[in-house]
Amino acid sequence: MKQLLLVFAFLASIFQIHSQENLPTDYLTKEFHQGRREAFRALMPANSVAVVFSYPERVFSRDIDYTYHANPDMYYLSGYKEPDAVLLIFKEAQGPEKYNEVLFVREKNATREMWTGRRLGIEGAKSKLGFSNVYNGKDFNAFAIDFSKFDKVIYDRIPTDVAENNSPDNLYSLFKSFKSKAGITQADETSTGLFDKITSSLREIKTPEELVLMRKTVKLSCIAHNEVMKAVGPDMSENEADGIHAYIHKHYGAEGEGYAPIVGAGANGCILHYWENNATKIDNQLLLMDVGSEYHGYSADVTRTIPANGKFSEEQKAIYQIVYDAQEAVFKICKEGTPLVALNETAKDVIAKGLIKLGIITDPKDVKLYYPHGCSHFLGLDVHDKGIFNGPQTLIKENMILTVEPGIYIPPNSKCDKKWWNIGVRIEDDILMLKDSYENLSIDSPRKWQDIEALAKQKSTFNEMKFPKI
């Protein structure tokens, strides 16, 4: 047994010596994250401290966890992507050392890293993330901080479903220690609201560094949509179309998708958040694909609706054209200063008139039966990203990224002519708002029905792939 332990220790030491090679070189820099902390600090009230926790790990099956996804706010402010961590940001410099931030991280553990991957540890957080004051998570409980001396302690909502664990360095213990130190018996809504307001005001405006990643994640998502347009056929399954997206994303270095892909044929495309993607044949129906990659934390959100047989029917074309016209109308007002609610009102008006013209509805108010969602949301680190919305007075700002995604969904048994049933159309693009105009980040994937039909005639590499029958 002793010899076995020595072997494990030796292997662990080898693992630690050799750093991981061939990593991407386009991650956000430590200077970016430092700049975001400075921007956060500038918005903090006097004599305050902000406390930011990592997200918990979640169980997938028994003793297997889901692939870990970092808290976007923790990542935004620190670059740290591991669980069991807490970041303190001070408005004013603290103590004789004049420090204004402290990061507590997962402790290095050679044996655990053999099983579950590398950890940055203290030295890694210092060298790669640019922090001067870094400690192991287990040291947080003994860390000398008197929260009562601050006029405001700012923190995000603390999850209530984190499994109890008495180990001193896990997230449960960090939460427990913080609440004890800060005298918190229940969440202070003014503190959590202030945290959300500060992070929302920062994250709704994208920096040049973020725009580089956003352009890339959207572009590679467009390539994936285009490849499915070329490869699709009536005998293809929804799951297979989903898989083409996933392969293209991975091919270009994306970590995965920014949300559960929605790939629905016919009536399935009329379900707004259809996630099963398990129809074995698309048949001669429309295929609605709402799929976006996640590249280095940043999510695309692109939707295209295509005919599986490569050609729109007259009914499909009529509905598609209304959605396209609604999107075009919204684009015309995409710029700084436009009320955010105007985007949806514009889309709704065009769709209502179009449906009335086709005889599907007679009253404009009934548009909500077939267009039940809003037209736009913020996009970035989260697919439904943070941003400040205060009703009709909220104006679009330069360097916001918003989706523009009108749609029409006519499920079976709708109160209209049966020829319209099972037609679901959404066209969604990712729009960077400029001073006097906009940039369509997802322009590389065709939107006009004529262009989609033209692309469908091209050959796809995936059509040539042959696999054994099972």
Q: Is 373 a catalytic residue?
A: yes
Q: How would DSSP label each residue in 169-209? A: TSHHHHHHHHHHHHT-SS--HHHHHHHHHHHHHHHTS--HH
Out of 18, 21, 62, 63, pick the active-site residue: 63
Out of 118, 373, 398, 439, pick the active-site residue: 373
Q: Is 101 a catalytic residue?
A: no
Q: Which amino acid is at 348?
A: K
Whether the CB-CB separation of 154 and 44 falls below 8 Å is answered with yes
Whether the CB-CB separation of 154 and 48 falls below 8 Å is answered with yes
Q: Is 296 a catalytic residue?
A: no
Q: Is 301 a catalytic residue?
A: yes
Q: Is 405 a catalytic residue?
A: yes
Out of 227, 426, 429, 430, pick the active-site residue: 426
**SS3 label, residue 258:** coil
State the Cα angle at 323 between 268 and 228, rounded to 5°: 55
Out of 55, 274, 295, 409, pick the active-site residue: 409
Q: Is 63 a catalytic residue?
A: yes
Task: Kindly give, in sequence order, each residue whose CB lies less than 8 Å from that of residue 201, ignoring residues fewer than 6 positions away.
Answer: 43, 388
Q: Is 409 a catalytic residue?
A: yes
Q: Give the residue from 362, 364, 330 showing the smallest Cα distance to 346.
A: 330
Q: Which amino acid is at 287?
A: L
Question: Which of the 8 DSSP states describes residue 107?
Answer: P
Q: Is 366 a catalytic residue?
A: no
Task: Output the six-digit token pair for 76.
Answer: 């935004």
Q: Is 384 a catalytic residue?
A: yes
Q: Checking DSSP bridges between strand 134-136 and strand 99-105, what pairing results, if any?
A: parallel
Q: Is 276 a catalytic residue?
A: no
Out of 156, 428, 429, 430, pick the active-site residue: 428
Rounded to the nearest 5°, which phi and psi values hold at 243? Answer: -65, -30
Out of 242, 257, 382, 405, pick the active-site residue: 405
Out of 101, 204, 227, 290, pick the active-site residue: 290
For 205-257, list the strands marked E by DSSP.
Answer: 256-257
Out of 151, 273, 417, 451, pick the active-site residue: 273
**How far apart are the C-alpha atoms of 264 and 337, rounded to whole Å?**
36
Q: Position of tokens 């007002």?
A: 333
Q: Is 62 a catalytic residue?
A: no
Out of 73, 84, 169, 301, pick the active-site residue: 301
**How far apart are the C-alpha atoms of 228 and 447, rounded to whole Å?**
14
Report the residue count for the chain.
470
Secondary structure of the chain: what % helix, strand, coil (to 5)? 40, 15, 45
Whether the CB-CB separation of 426 and 407 falls below 8 Å is answered with yes
**In Å, what is the CA distance from 89 to each residue of 71, 130, 225, 291, 343?**
16, 14, 41, 36, 37
Burial grade of 469 (CB within 10 A; 0-12, 13-18, 19 or more): exposed
Out of 118, 196, 384, 444, pick the active-site residue: 384
**How far apart are the C-alpha atoms of 147 and 84, rounded to whole Å?**
21
Out of 37, 249, 377, 447, pick the active-site residue: 377
Catalytic residue positions?
63, 273, 290, 301, 373, 377, 384, 405, 409, 426, 428
